[in-house]
Structure 1
Amino acid sequence: MDTGAIRRRVALGMAVLSASGLLALAAPGNAQAASYCAGRKVKDLSFSTGVVHVYKHDGYVCAVTFPAKPSATRRSMSVGVQARGNRPVVDKGRYSHHAGPVTVHAGHRCVWITGSVGRGTVSSGWILC
């Protein structure tokens, strides 16, 4: 193999590594939640101290709460999903990274999503009807 071919291969390898690094930096929040919930993201519910990512797949709705500012210390967090006509499913506790995931079968029914980090809260009302 001549020197020109080696340089081209090294340049191609560097381009691929650079592109993958940029993609990883471009959407870290989506990558986090996607590893916890199956399906496609249908909504982000942002609030002062965090965000709830909501996913839907084959009639199931999944939600995960993340804090706005990551921290190593544990703090109060929660996430809840309720399909209309059913009781809410809630994950509540003291976490450092995230609350959830919480998954319920909603079928074609509306769902109500709640989330909190510390004193900040969010409540969606009936959505995804």
Structure 2
Amino acid sequence: MDKGAIRRRLALGTALLAASGLIALAAPGTAQAAGGCAGRRAATLTFSTGSVQIYRARGYVCAVTRPEHPGRRITMSVSVQARGNRPVTDRGRYVRQAGPVTVHAGHRCVRVGGSVGRGSVRSGWILC
């Protein structure tokens, strides 16, 4: 096989791989949310200074905390814990959101929390 044939086969293989990746991204039921979490919105926890939005897809749970009035840098956090595991947390000074934070929950319950400034919210065990 000459070098031209090898290059053509590599180009074809690369094109097929790229096309399959695009098809996988466009698969129904795993829409990408504006905040970076994949899946469908499962719940929203609101509190005085913001909200925590929770998404679920294929055994994974993802959460982001958004302030009620974005635009200025403020301390925010988001935390997700699958039952039996340690919580995964994102904490810092952000303008638009804290997170996304994703954990593999399978069929286990999760506990979610978030804060913006002095306001905060914590759920019990949800999405069981």
Q: Summarize deviations over 1:69-92 as a string: whole Å, max 9, x none.
A: 112x21100000000000000000
User: Following the alignment from structure 1 to structure 2, what is the Cα–Cα distance between the partners of residues 94 and 108?
Assistant: 33
Distance of 2:66 and 2:121 partners within structure 1? 12
Q: Comparing 34-43 with 80-89, which one deviates more in the overlay?
A: 34-43
C-alpha distance in 2 between matches for 1:115 and 1:63:
9
Alignment of 1:15-26 (within 5 A): none
* Structure 1 CA distance for aligned equivalents of residues 102 and 84 of structure 2: 16
Aligned to 2:55: 55
Q: How many residues align?
A: 96
Coordinate RMSD, CA, aligned: 1.0
The residue number in structure 2 matching 1:124 is 123
Stretches of structure 1 that go unaligned for 5 or more consecutive residues are 1-32
Letter in 1 for 2:97: H
Normalization by structure 1: what TM-score? 0.73
Instruction: Name the structure with the higher helix share.
Output: 1
1:64 aligns with 2:57: no
1:106 maps to which residue?
105
| Secondary structure class of the residue paired with 1:51 | strand
Residue identity matched to 1:53: Q
1:41 maps to a residue whose letter is R
TM-superposed CA distance for 1:124, in Å, is 0.7
Counterpart residue number, 1:30:
none
- 2:85 match: 86
Partner Cα separation in structure 2 for residue 52 and residue 65 of structure 1: 4
TM-score, with structure 2 as normaliser: 0.73
Q: Which runs of 5+ in 2 are unaligned?
A: 1-31
Cα drift, residue 40 of structure 1: 0.4
Alignment-derived partner of residue 8 in structure 1: none
- Superposed displacement of residue 126, structure 1: 0.4
- Partner of 1:76, secondary structure, is strand
Identical counterparts, % of pairs: 67
Show the counterpart of 1:43: 43
Secondary structure of the 1:108 match is coil
Q: CA deviation at 1:34?
A: 1.1
| Equivalent residue number for residue 13 of structure 1 | none
